[in-house]
Amino acid sequence: MKKLQFLALFLLLSGLETSAQVFDASIEKKIDVLLKKMTLKEKIGQMNQLSADDMETNYKVIQQGMAGSVLSITNPEIANKAQKIAVEQTRLGIPLIIGRDVIHGFKTIFPIPLGQAASFNPDLVENAARIAAIEASETGIRWTFAPMIDIARDPRWGRIAESCGEDPYLTSVMGVAMVKGFQGKNLSDPTSIAACAKHFAGYGAAEGGRDYNTTNITERQFRNTYLVPFEEAVKKADLATIMTAFNANDGIPSSGNEFLLKQMLRKEWNFKGFVVSDWASITEMVDHGFCTDNKEAAQKAINAGVDMEMVSGTYVAFVESLLKEKKINIETINDAVRNILRIKFKLGLFENPYVKGNTEAVFYKKEHLETAQKTAEESVVLLKNEAQILPLKNPKTIAVFGPLADAPHDQLGTWVFDGDKNHSVTPLQALKDQYGKNIKILYEPILKYSRDKDSTEFYKARKIAKEADVVLLFVGEESILSGEAHSLSNLNLQGVQSQLLATLAKTKTPIITVVLAGRPLTIEKEVKGSNAVLYAWHPGTMGGPALVNLLFGKANPSAKLPITFPKNVGQIPMYYSHLKTGRPANGSELNVENIPIEASQTSLGNKSYYLDSGNEPLFAFGFGLSYTTFEYGKTTLAKSVLKQDETIEISFSLKNTGNYDGAEVVQLYMRDIAGSIALPVKELKAFKRVELKAGESKNVKVDLKISDLVFYGIDMKKKVEAGKFDLWVGSSSVTGEKVSFEVQ
Ligand code: BGC
C-alpha cells in the first residue's frame, strides 16, 4: 500500500515536472456545466474576437452572444459597458476577455524588450511586466499580446525590437519572467493579465529579415532553437495563451500548422490555455495560396487547433456549414471553447467582470517611473569608453546635439499605443534638471529627426562643439523605423547623422555618442569616430534620467548585448551559436586588402570566410563594458567526469579591480564537442548578475544540471548525449578560459 502511495506521489510529481500548467478540477466542472448549456452559435461566439474600432456595432454583436473577446478597448467605461452587455444581456452571461498589445509598458513605458533583455536581469524584467499589468488592468484589459519570444537573428527585421534577441536560453529566461510579471501570482487577481506568447512559430526567421516573409526551419531547428522559449513559458510560467504567427514555414502557414499546434503544443507540452490567431492570419492563408477561400481557411485553422480568431470573422461565417459538411468536428469546437472558458474562469472574470477604472491613482505612479528608470539604466550597453572618458568628470560646458536628444515620442520605441510622450523625460530635459545650474549646456539638435538630410546647420555644430569640454551626440533611429512591417535593408545611421559625427570629430572636442534605436545598427565607423558609445535602444519614458545617471556615473553600466552586432548587412545572419562548418576560419585568412594579384585558386586556403569583412562581428553577443573592471579567477569544476543525473558545480573568484562599484553579468557557455548531429560552437547555459564594490572579491558558484544539456539529436529524441564538453565562464560570448568535462 505504502509503495502504491509512493508511486502515485512520484507520478504526480513527475507529471508536474513535465507540465506545470495548473489544473483546477473545480474549473473543469464549471466548464462542463456551462458547455452543456451552450448552443452551437454561442460556442462560435466565444471563438470570435472583435476589434474595438466600431464599438456601436460591437455592442450589438456582443448582445447576440457572438463575441468572446474584444481587442483594444482601453477606456474603463467602454470596457464596463461592453462587459455589462455580455454579462447581463446574453443568455448565459459569459464575460468578455479584453485584450491589448501591452508590449513594454502600458502608460509607463519601459525600454523595448530587446533593451530589457540586455539587462540580463529577469527580476527587473518581471517587475516591469507586473507594473504594465497593474496599469493596463485598471482599464479593463485582462489579456496582453506579449511576450514576443521569437528568436530574432536578423536586425533587418523591424520586429527584432520586440524580441529578446538571438538566444534561446536568454529568451526563455526573459519570456518566463515577462509571463510571470503579467500573470502575477494568481490569474484571478484583478491586476493579473493573461499573457500571450507569440508568434508561434518561427516568425523571426523571415528570409532576408523582410517582415511576414517565408521561413524554412527544420523540425530539429524548431525543437532545438525556435520552440524552446515557448515550451519554457508553457511549463515554467503556466502561460495562458499563445498566438499563431503570420509566416508560412516550409510552405505551411502557422495558423494551419498541425505539427506546431497539435503535436508540439498540445500533445508534447500539454498546453491547457487557448490559441488565438494573429490579426487576420486565418484569411491570409488564402493570400499565402494555402487555401482557396476563407471557408477553407476557417476549416484548416480549426482543424489545426486555432481556438480563437482575431478579427477576420471566418469562424462566425463558416463553422456551422463546415460542421454540416463534416469538414470539422463538434469535439474540436468543444475543445476550443473549453480552452477559452478555462482562461476566463482562471481570470476570475465570471465573479469579477467589471473594473473600477481608478486610472489616475495607478498610471505613472512614482514607483512605476522609478522602476522604468532602473530598467533603462540596466539596459543601456556601454560599447566603448576610450581613456575612461565616462563617467563625465566635472565638465564646465557640454554641447548636446542630435535628433534624439530631445525626442519624447521616439525614445518610447515601437508598439506604444497608450504611453503618452508628454510624460517622457528626454536626455536633454534630465540634463537640464540635474545639472543645468552648474554646467553650461549648449543644445542644438542640428538635425530635426533621424532621417533628416539637411546639413545646413553643421557649421553651428562645429562652432558650439569648439566651445564645449565634451559633446553628447544623440543619434539613432526614430521609433517608427522599427517594429512590425518596418524592415530595412540598410542598417547604417539614417540621413546625415554620420556626417554630423564626422564634422564634430574634426573639432577635437571629445565625443560621447548615445545611440537610441530599435535594433543593432551598423555603426563601425561611428564607433571609431567617438570617444565613448552608449547603446540605449529605445529606453522608454524615463530614458533621459537613466542616461544622465549613466553619463555622470550615478549608475554604472552593466548591460550586455542580447544580440550580435554585425559590421555590415552582408554578414547577416550572424549569431554566436552558429555551427562550426567543416572549414572554419582560423584567423590566418587573407582579405581583399592583401590577396596577391593573380593568386592561384587554392592559395588562400579554403575557409568559410568573408574576404571583405571577415567573420568577426562589430560586437559579440554578451558584450558590454562597465566603468569598473572585473577579473575572473581560475574556473574549477567540482568533478570532471559526471553522470547524466548529476549537477556540474562550477566555481571561480570574481574581483572588481577598478574604482567603481559595479555589477558583472557572468556568462556560462558550453560546447558539446561531438554529437549525433553537429552542435553550435557555443551555447549560453546560465548567467548570473554579481554585484561587487570597488576592490571587492567574491567566490562565485554556478550550478548546471547535466540534464540541461539536452537536445534533439539524430533520432529526434530529447536527451543528453554522453561525451566530451568544453565550458567557458566569462564576460561575453568571446571571453573566458576553456575547461573541459565529460558526461558518461
Ligand atoms: C501583430 C501582433 C499583434 C496583433 C494585434 C498583429 O499585426 O503581428 O503581434 O498582437 O497585431 O494588435
- 329-367 pLDDT tens trace: 999 999 999 999 999 999 999 999 999 999 999 999 999
Mean pLDDT of 427-447: 98
Angle between helices 330-346 and 314-324 (to 10 degrees): 140
410 classed as catalytic: no
Q: How far is the CA of 122 from the centre of ligand 1 (A)?
A: 24
Q: Which pLDDT value is given to residue 601?
A: 82
Average per-residue pLDDT for the chain = 96
224 touches 167 (CB < 8 A): no
Q: Which pLDDT value is given to residue 17?
A: 42
Q: How far is the CA of 151 from the centre of ligand 1 (A)?
A: 17
Most ligand 1 atoms within 8 A of CB, residue of 150, 278, 282, 284 to mutate: 278
pLDDT higher than 80, residue 8: no
**Single pTM value for the model:** 0.97
CA distances from 518 to 108, 416, 481, 484, 563 (A): 18, 13, 8, 11, 12
Nearest to 465 by CA among 399, 402, 397: 399
**For ligand 1, atom 11, which residue shows the shortest CA distance?**
279
Residue 363 has which C-alpha cell? 498610471
**For ligand 1, atom 6, which residue shows the shortest CA distance?**
279
Q: How far is the CA of 310 from the centre of ligand 1 (A)?
A: 9
With bands split at pLDDT 50, 70 and 90, how would you rate the model's confidence at 16? very low
pLDDT tens, position by position, 677-718? 999 999 999 999 999 999 999 999 999 999 999 999 999 999
Q: Which pLDDT value is given to residue 490?
A: 98
Q: How far is the CA of 198 from the centre of ligand 1 (A)?
A: 9
With bands split at pLDDT 50, 70 and 90, how would you rate the model's confidence at 605? confident
**For ligand 1, atom 8, which residue shows the shortest CA distance?**
278
- Locate the ligand 1 atom nearest the alpha carbon of residue 148 and give its number: 9
Mean pLDDT of 636-658: 98
Mean pLDDT of 201-224: 98
Residues 6+ apart with CB under 8 A from 123: 177
Mean pLDDT of 19-35: 92
With bands split at pLDDT 50, 70 and 90, how would you rate the model's confidence at 2? very low
Measured in Å, how far apart are the chain's first and last C-alpha atoms?
Answer: 36
- Distance separating alpha carbons of residues 412 and 540, to the nearest angstrom: 4
**For ligand 1, atom 12, which residue shows the shortest CA distance?**
101
**For ligand 1, atom 4, which residue shows the shortest CA distance?**
279
- Could you write out the DSSP letters of every residue in 157-178? SGGGGGS--S-HHHHHHHHHHH
CA–centroid distance for 10 within its chain? 36
Most ligand 1 atoms within 8 A of CB, residue of 49, 212, 279, 415 to mutate: 279
What phi and psi values does residue 151 have, to the nearest 5 degrees? -70, 125
225 touches 150 (CB < 8 A): no
Instruction: With H, G, I as helix, E, B as strand and everything else as coil, classify residue 654.
Output: strand
Q: What is the DSSP letter of 148?
A: B
* Binding-site residues, ligand 1, Cβ < 6 A: 101, 145, 198, 278-279, 484
Nearest to 101 by CA among 177, 162, 45, 160: 162
With bands split at pLDDT 50, 70 and 90, how would you rate the model's confidence at 1? very low
pLDDT higher than 80, residue 20: no
Mean pLDDT of 42-70: 98
With bands split at pLDDT 50, 70 and 90, how would you rate the model's confidence at 603? confident
Q: How far is the CA of 319 from the centre of ligand 1 (A)?
A: 24
**For ligand 1, atom 2, which residue shows the shortest CA distance?**
278
Taking the CA atoms of the chain, what radius of gyration do you get in angstroms?
27
Q: How far is the CA of 401 from the centre of ligand 1 (A)?
A: 35
Q: What is the DSSP letter of 453?
A: -
Residue ranges of the alpha helices (H) in 396-457?
427-435
Q: Which pLDDT value is given to residue 5?
A: 47
Catalytic residue among 278, 307, 406, 418: 278
692 touches 656 (CB < 8 A): yes
Nearest to 723 by CA among 688, 674, 671: 674
